[in-house]
A and B are shown apart, each in its own frame.
Chain A
Amino acid sequence: MGGRGLISFIAIALCICFLAPSAALATDDENCLMCHKYPGLGRYAKDKKNLKAVKRIFYVNEELFSGSYHGKLRCKSCHEGVEEIPHTDVKRVDCATNCHLKDPSTGRDFSHKAIVEDLNQSAHGSEGSGSEYKDDLPTCKDCHSNKNYQNVVKEQVGAMKFLKVCLECHESEEWAERFYEHMFYRASTRRSSKQVVALCSKCHADQEKMDRHEVDVVVGFKDTFHGKAILYGDEEVANCLNCHAPYEMGFSPHRIKSRKTEGSPVHPDKKLETCQQAGCHAGATAAFADKGKAHPSNIRVAAVDDQGETLSQAEQEFQAWVLDMIKLFYKVLIIAVVGGLGTHRLLDLYATRREHKIAHRASKMGGH
Chain B
Amino acid sequence: MDGPILQAIVQVLTQPEVWLIIVSSALYGVFLGAVPGLTATMAVALFVPITYWLEPIPALAGIVTMAACAIFAGDVPTTLLRIPGTPASAAYVDDAYTYTQRGQSDRALGVALVGSVTGGLFGAVVLMLLGHQLANLAAFFSVAEYFWLYLLGLSSAVVVARGSTLRALFALLIGLFLSTVGLSEVHTEARFTFGMPQLYQGISFIPAMIGLFGLSEVLRNLLEPDLQRGIEEEGAGASAAEAVRSTVQRYLIDPVRSVFGPAFSQLGGRLHHALRSGTIGSVIGMLPGAGADIGSWVSMAVSKRVSSTPEAYGTDSLEGIADATTANNSALAGTWIPALVFGIPGDSITAIVIGVLLMKNVNPGPAIFEEQAVLVYSIYTIFFLANLVLLPVGWLAIKAGSWVVRVPRRVLLPVILLFCIIGSYAIKGSYFDVSVMLGMGVLGFLLERRNVPLGPVVLGIILGGPLEARFIQTLTGSGGSLLAFVNRPAAAVLAVLCFLLWVSTIVWNWQSSQEPA
A and B associate: no
